[in-house]
Structure 1
């Protein structure tokens, strides 16, 4: 049995490895999650020879060309190839429009405020130091260097050139042999990654993979059976039906085997046959076809370019779609990186658009399935490129305006119908994951002390005032009175059962527990904070208070408990516009709400005179607005993220001009003993990690949901393990 498996084709072995891996993952569940390390090791081994192979294969492949052949290829065929690449890249960039809209939100993540490293395009594309480019993995720069060396070799003569070409050919063969050997262990990596994914990925994540697979299959079919044949039918005497029927044999073979190389002779004969049918085949034309197909095979084909769609899917899957401004650089860099292996190109492109590298495992798992579809797109690309070049050579390529219009209309209709159909179809069956508002709305304060929560605001002049209670008076009274702001997510708010919860509510409970007293929460309005403290309505205010310089002479702030990052909350569909300073300056009729940060708002008014700023009493007035009175609100990234859990239709933008501000607890100016205690208490709780645990729970959502073991046969069906 084992001998029979090893005698199978590698594609069959990979298919078996995938299904066996899925079976193992479903059976054993999370206990096989460690297999991902084996999968990663195999992928890293597969990448071992790729970069040097690009170098020697391009130099040797271009360098051995005759000058006349190189001129022909890089002028006529090169121009047609470039145009086909641009068309394919445009179609690929449009395909994400077919992804279904998924409304989602998440807790605050520190990665959202980390500055994004600017792309050094000079290093990316210009090999000023080729060795540095290779060491840093700058694939586009390596390709440019390799092409330059190959072109230089064309103009050389003599034994030295032949020695270099022989060395390049021999080295290329060495790398090919290594790769063929490594392919034998690739099924092991696919098995390991499939088992790990099936054992650890949730149902929602598996469902999301359908989006990539369906859109990818449709993209390849659209290119193969509509766009590319339509170009041939529009620009040459060959009809649409002839283009499809004559290439049928090579398409079927490529799909069945997943191998393009073996159908090169078939493509050559198909191209000769179709040109002969139209009496357009000369002896020189036949020679052109025989030379062009194998040389074009060494360049990235449209089938290979389609894998760029995975990067767009990875952004959608990760909840951080690829920005429109990044598409040109992604397309160019992706094209150049695909001169080599996809095993280097995909991680490179993921890193380029700042997406997690571990998403690459999803690509590898699906690679041999999608490979059959990109094989047919690659074959049709070679066929169309050769036919168009031959037609240009025989002067029967028709570039009249009516034909170009016909081609454009046909391609446009096909793309629009495909995207609309996919968007509607996938939208009906692929739904948003469970809304996370249920998570934050059910969170609870862990430290339990006798607690009383008042909801009625005390009124100055009406509510009886009390003497300011110092630390000794609080202990004698047996109750710590804490001021809070209602609906101040995630610092102080009511959960689903009406309990007052939040980061500062939890901190206040811990403070009361350490003082060995009960706790009583009293609501207050921010503009009356100092007067409320002086009136003794409460002892300390703990509710995400931004330190206000205008209040510092009226009350005392403790040491800052947190430093928050200023952000903008707005509707998902316009959130990216607030990330770029130039886009903000171009906005018109935009109203920005704010609750605090008056000094920052005054600076913003000067910087953005095109925006209208309106002060509101609370953040709930923005998120719960019934009419579109405000377009955005100034808020901290931490609080804004928490609000988007309740209102997933909103998102958070970190502007280019970033700003941080401290939040602190406040006591009456004369209450020095309580202030000293709180300052020392905060230092202690920061050092012992208690404050970090509260922060991780309320701000980052760590431990907010009960992580249940992944469903598995061994646990949930057979009950062999707990």
Structure 2
């Protein structure tokens, strides 16, 4: 044991982390969900690692920029700065395009209240303008902090005297302090990696592991494409250095960076190789040699393309979470990502996840994969330093070639290779990485728990033909021992038939409970909504319970009880159209678009005036939209709760909550003259709200809580050795 411990301590930190990750996976697979608690240890270690990052950004940037001479700073920011920005743009463009390689996955889920919560508006002034630098640091506004640090560094350049040197020395001393703290904390980082890996392997489902493959494959491809194709081609097209020479001079640095995951140690090698290759092309004056020696260490302190590639994780997290990042959010994410990556990725990734409103829990996936992906972004970072240095020296020596034919050839070649790579990845991952199982089986097998003797009729009573009955008050219902409830078939999730042919749903369950409390049996009778009032007056049933939206036109013909639920109005449409229905501006720009609706006639009248470009068509039932042949209807007005349930059966559709967050009430209905039953149901409903029964049914039928029995994660200790149940 002592010998093993000594060998572990003798390993490099990157090797320790890899060992910790694989051992963590093994522990998680062995013990399963019983090691889920270890995620708390991993989170604690990561938070400790973040402790010095923000102060380090401040002191390193101020000290690093402040020590430059004015001429050097001007040269770097004017020439190297422009080239760095252009290389960033290339890297960010490829990162933004990479999600096109993600395979199409049809997913659907129960309604979630988070889907209709208003997104917190981003305060771009606070994000980018350090009006109060201390507040920016306290609230984690990394871009504002970076801008403040750069401003301080630039101000120091223009200062003279001993005070300037004192400040620079202080900044470098602080930088060394923070660096030593970080080095000490790195020693415990393998513990955090082990804990997070064990927790993830023990609790993460098979589908989640399959989805992680999508990120890892696309990330590896992105880094390899940038390192061995795009960046060398740019260098070969614009400088005297050939494509083969660019790969040859970087070979040893790339191997070292990949093996160690450390870029800093190859900086001297990069400097010497750049000077050597430019000498071979007679493009290295004494000033250019000095420029190389200054440029590489300074460029190292700025975010490189290798670091920028981690933004792909945020785009993957959106895909993984079922809420892809919208195109309009990419510029903000890119700019914020670049500025936040002046510091550690362990600060930048949580910041970016929060910026696009994604769950912070996803960060654990990044940490778990970080020590695999880190080796690949290291080689991209090295090639970025080579490209930046060679391009800047060529520009300084007036050897930069900007011939239109050459630029066109480079653009076509790089563009074609990127398109081909995306297509191959998309097709390949689509073939080998399968979609998770559709969840329609869950909702189709849900059951009504509180059952009383029940009869379900599927025959619609016909006015004028079916025998009418007197309107029954509460006493009459108890006397005959039967509550007759009207329902609308195929009205998911309020009343519908499950796979066993049973009538189930939120209101079916509520009706069962009402009958139980009355001490009677229950009979369900179908009805058509436009004949509801007449059916109640004819005594076909006593009460209608089937997700009824309160209708102003019906209020003088029947009585609604007090609202049962407040539902959120939304639009159901094909998955690829969902985002276009989330904004009023994009809806107003639509042409030749047909919107179907079943109810909400008063709301639809207002919508017709607000959206004259749309055609609204009333249909008989929601199933007519979801089961339509062809594209007769482009979208459907429905509640977010019901729409989410329908998408479980039809995962090709998605739900777009309306921008203005409209709500509407649903209620039960009784005949206008049935005051006795109206009073009883109103009081009964208040009781069932207070005792939590209605909430439990809502959580089950609307949110899917408890809809499927959670199965323990497969583990060796349970499923192979059978040591635990």
TM-score calculated relative to the size of structure 2: 0.99
- Equivalent residues in 2 for 1:145-224, closer than 5 Å: 145-224=148-227
The Cα of 1:410 is off from its aligned counterpart by 1.4
Q: Is residue 2:422 matched to residue 1:405? A: no
Structure 2 counterpart of 1:650: 653
- Structure 2, unaligned runs of 5 or more: none
The superposition leaves residues 163-222 of structure 1 with CA deviations (integer Å, 9 ceiling, x where unpaired) of 111111111111111110110000000000000011101111111110011110110000
CA distance in 2 between partners of 1:662 and 1:585 (Å): 27
The superposition leaves residues 571-615 of structure 1 with CA deviations (integer Å, 9 ceiling, x where unpaired) of 000100000111111111000000111111111111111100000
CA distance in 1 between partners of 2:407 and 2:497 (Å): 64
The Cα of 1:4 is off from its aligned counterpart by 1.6
- Equivalent residues in 2 for 1:404-553, closer than 5 Å: 404-553=407-556
Structure 2 counterpart of 1:356: 359
The superposition leaves residues 292-325 of structure 1 with CA deviations (integer Å, 9 ceiling, x where unpaired) of 0001000000000000000011111111111111
SS in 2 for 1:543: coil
Structure 2 counterpart of 1:564: 567
Q: Is residue 2:616 matched to residue 1:613? A: yes
CA distance in 1 between partners of 2:397 and 2:639 (Å): 66
The superposition leaves residues 411-451 of structure 1 with CA deviations (integer Å, 9 ceiling, x where unpaired) of 10111111001001100001110111111111110011100
SS in 2 for 1:498: coil
The Cα of 1:403 is off from its aligned counterpart by 1.4
The Cα of 1:247 is off from its aligned counterpart by 1.1
Structure 2 counterpart of 1:49: 52
Structure 2 counterpart of 1:20: 23
SS in 2 for 1:196: helix
Structure 2 counterpart of 1:84: 87
Q: Is residue 2:644 matched to residue 1:641? A: yes
CA distance in 2 between partners of 1:464 and 1:570 (Å): 42
CA distance in 2 between partners of 1:453 and 1:609 (Å): 43
Structure 1 counterpart of 2:693: 690
The superposition leaves residues 651-709 of structure 1 with CA deviations (integer Å, 9 ceiling, x where unpaired) of 00012122100000000111111111111111111111111111100000011111111
SS in 2 for 1:247: helix
CA distance in 2 between partners of 1:714 and 1:426 (Å): 32
Q: Is residue 2:603 matched to residue 1:600? A: yes
Q: How many residues align?
A: 722
Q: Is residue 2:725 matched to residue 1:701? A: no
CA distance in 2 between partners of 1:694 and 1:232 (Å): 64
CA distance in 1 between partners of 2:265 and 2:403 (Å): 36
Structure 2 counterpart of 1:578: 581
CA distance in 1 between partners of 2:29 and 2:251 (Å): 39
The Cα of 1:404 is off from its aligned counterpart by 1.0
Q: Is residue 2:723 matched to residue 1:720? A: yes
- Equivalent residues in 2 for 1:363-382, closer than 5 Å: 363-382=366-385
Q: Is residue 2:232 matched to residue 1:229? A: yes
The Cα of 1:135 is off from its aligned counterpart by 1.0
CA distance in 1 between partners of 2:5 and 2:365 (Å): 28
Deviates more, 1:108-117 or 1:278-287: 278-287
Structure 2 counterpart of 1:393: 396
Q: Is residue 2:145 matched to residue 1:130? A: no
The Cα of 1:534 is off from its aligned counterpart by 0.5
CA distance in 2 between partners of 1:123 and 1:612 (Å): 43
CA distance in 2 between partners of 1:667 and 1:503 (Å): 18
CA distance in 1 between partners of 2:8 and 2:445 (Å): 52
CA distance in 2 between partners of 1:658 and 1:375 (Å): 45
Q: Is residue 2:269 matched to residue 1:269? A: no
Structure 2 counterpart of 1:309: 312
SS in 2 for 1:103: coil
CA distance in 2 between partners of 1:657 and 1:257 (Å): 52
The Cα of 1:503 is off from its aligned counterpart by 0.3
Structure 1 counterpart of 2:291: 288
Structure 1 counterpart of 2:71: 68
**Segments of 4+ moved more than 4 angstroms:** none
CA distance in 2 between partners of 1:108 and 1:371 (Å): 37
CA distance in 2 between partners of 1:236 and 1:393 (Å): 11
SS in 2 for 1:711: coil
CA distance in 2 between partners of 1:412 and 1:655 (Å): 38
The Cα of 1:627 is off from its aligned counterpart by 1.7
The Cα of 1:132 is off from its aligned counterpart by 1.1
- Structure 1, unaligned runs of 5 or more: none
CA distance in 2 between partners of 1:258 and 1:21 (Å): 20
CA distance in 1 between partners of 2:163 and 2:701 (Å): 69
Structure 2 counterpart of 1:256: 259
CA distance in 2 between partners of 1:654 and 1:691 (Å): 24
CA distance in 1 between partners of 2:461 and 2:168 (Å): 88
The Cα of 1:370 is off from its aligned counterpart by 0.6
CA distance in 2 between partners of 1:157 and 1:626 (Å): 78
The superposition leaves residues 89-137 of structure 1 with CA deviations (integer Å, 9 ceiling, x where unpaired) of 0010000000000001000000000000111111111111111111111
The superposition leaves residues 625-659 of structure 1 with CA deviations (integer Å, 9 ceiling, x where unpaired) of 01210000000000000000000000000121221
CA distance in 1 between partners of 2:85 and 2:92 (Å): 10
SS in 2 for 1:325: helix
SS in 1 for 2:546: strand
Root-mean-square deviation over aligned CA pairs:
0.6
Q: Is residue 2:601 matched to residue 1:624? A: no
CA distance in 2 between partners of 1:410 and 1:337 (Å): 32
SS in 2 for 1:544: coil
The Cα of 1:479 is off from its aligned counterpart by 0.4
TM-score calculated relative to the size of structure 1: 1.00
The Cα of 1:281 is off from its aligned counterpart by 1.1
SS in 2 for 1:289: helix
